[in-house]
Chains A and B, each alone.
Chain A
């Protein structure tokens, strides 16, 4: 055995000090950056933790509990208004219906997200067809045993989720169709897709919501004005479809012409080529972009506030004017709570997309 054969890979020292020196203090510039970063963390993190956790008031029944020098977040405010933050002005006696909708959605969604769970096709139909119908009947009511609850009484997290989930569920398929349309060889379809996409991308969501909520009823005949929330749902869904279309188009452009040619040469039709060969690859390329659009949409739902629909942020704002809970740190506490709720959902989506990316890449041995 020669000396070269006996050489192993170089040993990397595993000590903490060695790691610090390599990664944080390897050069003067690196050391300066490390110090600046540490200083910024020291400036921001401890006060935040103090406010949210260590100095916070956790229990109490009235605003008096939160008054006084040096008190942090007033969590009793959140506990006391929790139902409003989650359900809005939904009648207290009917809240069980919302809870069933939340629970059913969770039960139908979880097996969908687990790649190895069986019966995906059945699950998709359950989630996209059966579940929305059940949710609609339960939430809106007006059936025997279910008194009607007008959408003007819906609010809080319920509205946030209804708007976001509708937007997400509609925008992906519609976005795919628009992206394919924009790349179609048929001029009429291509032009229609381009006009649709550029129209919706060209106007701010706030304008769309205003148009849907204020202008549309003026154009429509009396009595034929659909529900305010429904109009906003349609506006949000079409708006996000345009964005989704451009994300998907980016993925389609990454597919080499040879893939289309091989599929067509084998006799696959246009839709088979797209559905079996092109889209599975294209969508995989743009998972980060798709989830990015979902997250943006989720956060944009807060804009429905300006047309008088109270999502979770709107409910928090409305609560600030409640004299029973006017405390100096009330606004900060409320916004912190809303921020945490948004962060949980958005971070969840982002983590799931990372998981899917890793899984899909591992499956191809790359």
Chain B
């Protein structure tokens, strides 16, 4: 990936995600400590940090797969509380892509993509199918529509997972280490799809170790360690002039090889 310095991607002033003073514990383990994070429409955020630093937990709080114990999370004007209606409302607008793909193995690729539009958006069947085919073409696997996930490679499965999330027309896309479970030769095909998505102006939060991707599309890199946000900066600044010692040692480790 060539570093594309002339980024055409635009960021609006509208706040999409606002987290303030968010804490979370797993038992006695304080996994998120006083998280303040504001993300505007069209921003592309890469969250980096050592494993166990709370990155995945942070983005899983955004669609309430994890509950936060203190603080406030507001998604596109809807505050996340225990109110189930609101949680479902938020989930309709937030797409998520998982490390392990989590496709539904008993359904074809097409059925995976049409499931939520049919049952959550109550879309007519023909419309849902057209929509699914449109997104499968965008991730470049329309010819696999009638296969089952078990018949596809990891990279293809992850692209289906992205298409499945896009079928709900989400305002925000969350990526939880989308390339970590992939063989090296398949990482690029997934990253290419994500780069394309970023160029189209999707608000994205991405937990990843792909620093090339961070340089190319992120407009902000958030660095976490031990449950805290240590620093956040645009990629040039983050990679070239990190402020904190922890960031420096992290970068030294992952960029060493």
Contact = CB atoms under 8 A, between A and B. Distances in A.
B95 to A, nearest CB: 8
A167 B89 CA distance: 41
The 4 closest A-B pairs by CB, nearest first: A262-B102, A258-B102, A266-B116, A265-B96
Interface in A101-139: none
Contact of B104 (A259, A269, A363): A259
Contacts of A364: 105-106, 148, 150-151
Interface string A277-302: 10011001000000000000000000
Contacts of B72: none
B120 A365 contact: no
Contacts, number: 66
B168 interface: yes
A272 B102 contact: no
Contact of B119 (A258, A261, A276, A365): A276
A121 to B, nearest CB: 15
28 contacts: A258-B98, A258-B100, A258-B102, A259-B102, A261-B65, A261-B96, A264-B91, A265-B63, A265-B65, A265-B91, A265-B94, A265-B96, A266-B91, A266-B95, A267-B91, A268-B115, A268-B119, A272-B119, A272-B120, A276-B119, A277-B115, A281-B104, A281-B106, A363-B148, A364-B105, A364-B148, A364-B151, A365-B150
Contacts of A258: 98, 100, 102
Given A265-B63, A265-B96, A365-B148, A281 B105 contact: yes
Given A258-B100, A364-B150, A365-B150, A266 B168 contact: yes
Nearest to A270: B84
A259 B119 CA distance: 16
A268 B148 contact: no
A281 B103 CA distance: 12
B59 to A, nearest CB: 11
A143 interface: no
B7 interface: no
B91 A276 contact: no
Nearest to A257: B102
Contacts of A272: 119-120
B115 A266 contact: yes
A12 interface: no
A185 to B, nearest CB: 12
Interface string A70-98: 00000000000000000000000000000
A266 B88 contact: no
Q: Of A262, A263, A276, A366, which is in contact with the most chain B CB atoms at under 10 Å from its CB?
A: A262
B144 to A, nearest CB: 12
Contacts of A264: 65, 91
Interface residues of B, number: 26
B88 A262 contact: no
Interface residues of A, number: 22
B92 interface: yes
Contacts of B164: 266
B147 interface: yes
Interface of B: 63, 65, 88, 91-92, 94-96, 98, 100, 102-106, 115-116, 119-120, 147-148, 150-151, 164-165, 168
B106 A280 contact: yes
A363 B115 CA distance: 19
Interface string A236-278: 0000000000000000000010110111111111001000110
Contacts of B150: 364-366
A258 to B, nearest CB: 4
Contacts of B92: 267
Nearest to A263: B104
A287 to B, nearest CB: 13
Contacts of A256: 100, 102
Contacts of A263: 104
A343 to B, nearest CB: 33
A261 B102 contact: yes
Contact of B115 (A259, A276, A281, A284): A276
B180 to A, nearest CB: 14
